[in-house]
Amino acid sequence: RLVSSLRLSMQTPDELNGYEHMFKTQSLHNSWKKLPVWLKSLCIFTAGGISALGQAPFDIPALTLFGLAFGIWAIQELGTFKPFLGGWVLGFGYFSGSLYWIIEPFLVDAAATGWMAPFALVSLSGGLAILWGLAFKAVRGCHGLMLCLSLTAAEFARAYLLTGFPWVLIGYVWIDTPVYQLAAWIGPHGMTFLTLLCAWGLGRRGSDPVAFRLVAISIVFFIPFLPSIKGPPGASDAPIIRLINPNVAQKDKWHLDKMAGVFDYQIMLTKADPQVDLIVWPEASVYMSLDKARHEISEAAGDASALVGVQRISEELRFYNSAVVIDAKGNISGTYDKNRLVPFGEFIPLSYWTAKWGLQDFSGLTGFGFSAGSGAKTIEIAGLGQVQPLICYEAIFPQYVGGTLERPALLILISNDAWFGSFQGPAQHFAQARARTIELGLPLVRVANRGVTAIIDARGGIDAVLWPTERGSIDAQIPIAIPPTFYAKYRDLPLSLLFLIAFSTIAIGWVRRKFLTIS
């Protein structure tokens, strides 16, 4: 009956020229119309939640495509709600499913802050979903291709608006497959557009070109199972780096009775044979003053330099979350201050302006929070050349990583994933670090306390790893970089031009229709 209905519907000229989607039969259409609004909302919300299963740690991109295809079909084809409300419900489901790790920081001290966890998840998911609602509303009645562009623009805006939050961009569902190698050309937002095109292709009817549908189906069912692509290894004389992972629970990290033991454990791993060229500690891994700690770290490191995460106070009495390089003589040879801070976690938004109005400046010694550093920079490390340090949250920003005046030979990311729990958050954070290597063609060293500690090559391959349940150290050679990718050279400029052309076309069409109506 389904096949017969599809054949009959294909013979209708109006349907052949319209916006076509999957599974449209008259009986299904009528059945859907009879459902109560709350049940329709639940179905679309569930579709959004299912689409989130393409993200780490589940990594099932087929579910993302089917979830988005159903959601778009239900909202646009069936006219379930007004476009904004339908898009918001779909986005709310997607973000609720992909960001539920956000409750974890509130559970570190559950007695004091646990009650805030559900409010944090609902407010963050609901707030981000507004962009999806606006995307559906902006192209109401337009061809489905324009909806793909509009949703991509919404995800693009999410990466930049306010302080930006490009976590779990739709295109990231391909990171664990060879498909994401295309990001070297089109970047993460281009991958989002490609994903939406595939979802739209699966949701369309038999009037589409057969080749288009076969490509979409092959991406869903075959490409994710191909082996991952490996980048070039390190040269035979490549520097050897040691990554230190103490794997400490967040509640114990600053416990007065345990801080010294954690520091001593890191010193022990640093001293271990054989001698290496660089030793990297995680974010905020020094509990004592830097002046006191640097000599002890340098002595343990021997002839190697050490890159260490610290919390430091400047001469102006301002807090910084920093990475410092300690040379073999115990001197500080380089300092990087974190620039992309976590809103409400590391700083209070708008505190700069409230200070100008005579209110408290929350970045100072007497307030709460950190000051932002001067921006992306490289640091010269003996034997390694120029490296770009990154601290935790910064790695999720594709527009920031690699955005230095001089192209680095290596990215070094230090993090503390203990805040993210032990499942979804650390897996997603690690996946996004791999995405940066593929996009830029640069190897990355990732050192995390209670997270994934790994060496990642220039194609996103994992050369050596300690998983979140493990602790200890890794000694491995640094992979080599490959020539700058197309995305590294031009970033989001080509996609921005596509947005400009597409939405200019919509605006011109709208003006023409208004003019003809008036005439």
Amino acid identity for residue 187 in this structure? G
Structure tokens at 289: 């003053």
Which residues, 6 or more positions from 56, have their beta carbon under 8 angstroms from its beta carbon?
A: 172, 175, 176, 424, 427, 428, 430, 431
Which residues, 6 or more positions from 118, have their beta carbon under 8 angstroms from its beta carbon?
A: 103
The 8-class DSSP code of residue 347 comes to B
Instruction: Please tell me the distance from the alpha carbon of residue 131 to that of residue 127, in angstroms, as a whole number.
Output: 8
**Residue 198 is among the residues annotated as catalytic for this protein:** no
Catalytic, out of 20, 104, 155, 283: 283
> Beta strand 379-381 with 410-416: parallel, antiparallel or unpaired?
unpaired
Catalytic, out of 24, 338, 394, 439: 338
Other beta carbons within 10 angstroms of residue 400's beta carbon come to 21
Instruction: Please tell me the distance from the alpha carbon of residue 172 to that of residue 164, in angstroms, as a whole number.
Output: 17
Instruction: Please tell me the distance from the alpha carbon of residue 192 to that of residue 186, in angstroms, as a whole number.
Output: 10
Label residues 445-458 b or e (16+ Cβ within 10 Å = b).
Answer: bbbbbbbbbbbbbb
Residue 480 in contact with residue 464, Cβ under 8 Å? no
- Distance from CA of residue 389 to its chain's centroid? 18
Amino acid identity for residue 382 in this structure? A
**Residue 392 is among the residues annotated as catalytic for this protein:** yes
Residue 364, φ and ψ in degrees, nearest 5: -95, 180
Other beta carbons within 10 angstroms of residue 286's beta carbon come to 22
Residue found by looking up tokens 């623009």 in the block: 153
Catalytic residues: 283, 338, 392
